[in-house]
Chain A
Amino acid sequence: MTEYILGIACYYHDAAACLLKDGELIAAAEEERFNRKKHYSGFPHLSIKYCLEEADIDIKDVQYIVYYEKPFIKFNRILETSIAQWPKSFGVFRRAIPMWLKGRLDMRKHISKELKIEPSRVYFSEHHLSHSASAFFLSPFKEAAILTEDGVGEWATTTLGHGKDNKMIIDREIQFPHSLGLLYSALTAYLGFRVNDAEWKVMGLAPYGEPKYVDRFSKLVDVKDDGSFRLNMKYFSYIHSHKYTINRKFGELLGRPMRKKDEEIDEFYTDMASSGQKVVEDIIVKIADFMHKTYKTDTLVIAGGVGLNSVANWRILEKTGFKNIFIQPAAGDSGAALGAAFAFYHLALGKPRKYEMKHALLGPSYTDKQIKETLDSYDAKYTEYKNDKELIDATAKMLAEDKVIGWFQGRMEFGPRALGNRSILANPQNPKMKEILNSKVKFREKFRPFAPSVLKEKTSKYFDIDIDAPYMLLIPQVRKEWQKKLPAITHVDGTARLQTVDKETNPKYHALLSSFEKKAGVPVVLNTSFNVRGEPIVCTPEDAYSCYMRTGIDALVVGNCILTEKNQEQVENFKELNIVYIKRDEGR
């Protein structure tokens, strides 16, 4: 009998679901992609529906439903914190307690009600166990040290462990309120960006500054030689406030108050981004160093939201003894859905490992017929190509002519990165391409870099890296001789957040890069997510068409069709998208 396990993550941010069929991951998706609400945290009904459709089964066929956290332990943390922080914690207490007592506490009943299943099929995996399992069991390694670093789960915020075959242990932890994720969020808030959304911006801003304020920033956190740390909580508010991450003293310590949202990002704040990033990197490197000595292995796997800090990941490779590294591409909470399912499969059911995550293309795909029906419903003008080669050559030609391309192919990516199936592509050789993209399509801050995709077999010619980086989670240097030739993807410090493209896992995208190389001379394209700022990445052909019509994308390549002409009357009808930001769950 086929064994199905459904993994669920929700009720903080980035709700998601995944489905395992006999230990193979066959589908995974974030809810925001379907309901178009960025960072949606509610129950992932649509993701679950998609997973079941992908397997062509009903929820009745799923034997085990595994939730990514232990609700009682989390509730205990909220209570303990409220008690310890009395009377400042009233705001958190009065919001969280009714929410938890109303249904969140009895999550088994809640999930069974939402899915209309018997409660006996619902199981629970600890938050950091879920993260750790998502990193280790999906990695190609038989044995590895496991590092999980995030904001907070139940109590743990950083955990260390070790995995071998289908076994895993977590043996050390740092507990709330001391958290690297929350320290980075505090920096994000201080710089005037949205917490749990704009941490990328801090990472992108940091190389523009100098780490002049490391001494000041270091006073926020006491770090030991083994990388263990505690935050100096007098500077932070998140422990007793649902609204504020930092307090006035934080600004006083750093030398200036928190930057206002629309205030100019001057040298001081840029240097502070650099200093904060450096302090966090140094802590992570110390932790990794300690792990290397403790677990006596050259292999490290990483999960948790801080694992998306690709600069820190690269520093681990540079500065510690770890030679092999795997970072689960959906390292944040959405990816914990995978870990919950895999932890149950291997640890609770004791099944051997057989799955290795070779790509993150786990979301829905659409047939050429469905795509054509969508385009026809809008009376869109398009050219249909009968074979992939012609389509790819035509696309590569447009790229070489500096056109901005919306590229929509195959299954949607799982995780925060567009990896060549829901991507906006452009020529990285054009020195003005960053400005073109920002003014026509992305409307992002100027300091944010764009990432490159490169043919895997030609990576080392252009980038100083000798391992695979398929998920844009490592930041090597662009080789000196190529930095000026690839200006649109080379960041101010000469680095690039790289994606290596493998022929085996994404043949169509690989073929596009090969064709582009023949026309433009480099097997590298600029790859940014197919969305506009503040909007989730496109999921359906309709989303792609809508994004194409509302922006300055020159051509849309969707399935086997290419669109280059926009009906101007229709453009007017595509109103400004109503961007919905989802607040961080207050019950946290």
Chain B
Amino acid sequence: MLKKIFSPLWKGYLAFGHFMAPKITFLLVSIIYFIFVPIFSLIRFTDPLKMKLQEGGSYWLEKKPIDTSINGMKRLY
């Protein structure tokens, strides 16, 4: 009896959740992007993406040695 009542309610709740999830995600991501990201964006005065072109010299960057030990390759970074 209870199952009969709650089953459609539960299904409805799930459908509502699926419908709302992308909207809530969009809202949260938008809040993060427009409130928190600019703080980091503004306090950085460097050229993190090295966009500026330079006269002479070389654009090669020295590559730090990659840790290829088993433990190194275990890491996600």
Using a CB–CB distance below 8 Å, which chain A residues touch chain B? 66, 70-73, 76, 80-84, 86-87, 90, 93-94, 97-98, 105-108, 123-126, 129, 156, 159-161, 169-178, 222, 224, 226, 228-230, 232-233, 239, 343-344, 347-349
Contact = CB atoms under 8 A, between A and B. Distances in A.
A123 B75 CA distance: 7
A171 B68 contact: no
Contacts of B60: 160, 172-174, 226, 228
Contacts of A94: 26, 29-30, 33
Interface size class of B (residues with CB under 8 A): 35 or more
B66 A178 contact: no
B61 to A, nearest CB: 5
Given A70-B77, A84-B44, A229 B59 contact: yes
Of B29, B33, B38, B66, chain A has the most CB atoms within 10 Å of the CB of: B66
A174 to B, nearest CB: 6
A84 B76 contact: no
Contacts of A173: 60-61, 63
Contact of A84 (B34, B49, B65, B74): B49
Contact of A90 (B33, B54, B65): B33
Contacts of A70: 75-77
A170 B34 contact: no
B76 A108 contact: yes
B7 interface: no
Top 4 nearest A-B pairs by Cβ distance?
A72-B77, A228-B59, A347-B68, A86-B41
Nearest to B22: A98
Given A97-B29, A98-B25, A224 B58 contact: yes
B16 interface: no
A348 B73 contact: yes
Contacts of B44: 83-84
B40 interface: yes
A93 B37 contact: yes
Interface of B: 25-26, 29-30, 32-34, 37-38, 40-41, 44, 48-51, 53-54, 56-63, 65-66, 68-70, 72-77
Nearest to B55: A222
Contacts of B70: 123, 348-349
Nearest to A158: B60
A420 to B, nearest CB: 36
A87 B34 contact: yes
Contact of A82 (B37, B59, B61, B73): B37
B59 A178 contact: yes
Nearest to B25: A98
Nearest to B46: A84
Contacts of A222: 53, 59
A83 B41 contact: yes
A170 B49 contact: no
Given A174-B60, A228-B58, A126 B53 contact: no
Nearest to B32: A97
Contacts of B49: 80-81, 84, 176-177, 233, 239
A224 B29 contact: no
Contacts of B38: 86-87
Given A81-B49, A83-B40, A87-B34, A124 B75 contact: yes
A348 B68 contact: yes
12 contacts: A70-B76, A83-B48, A84-B41, A87-B34, A94-B26, A97-B29, A108-B76, A123-B74, A171-B63, A177-B51, A178-B50, A224-B57
Contacts of A98: 25, 29
Nearest to A133: B68
A80 B48 contact: yes
A172 B51 contact: no
A84 B68 CA distance: 30
Given A161-B63, A348-B70, 19 more contacts: A70-B76, A80-B48, A80-B49, A83-B44, A84-B49, A86-B37, A86-B38, A94-B30, A129-B66, A129-B68, A160-B60, A173-B60, A178-B59, A226-B58, A226-B60, A343-B68, A343-B73, A347-B68, A349-B70
B21 to A, nearest CB: 9
Contacts of B65: 169
A93 B29 contact: yes
Nearest to A67: B76
Contacts of B53: 222, 230, 232
A123 B57 CA distance: 38
B9 to A, nearest CB: 27
Contacts of A347: 68, 73
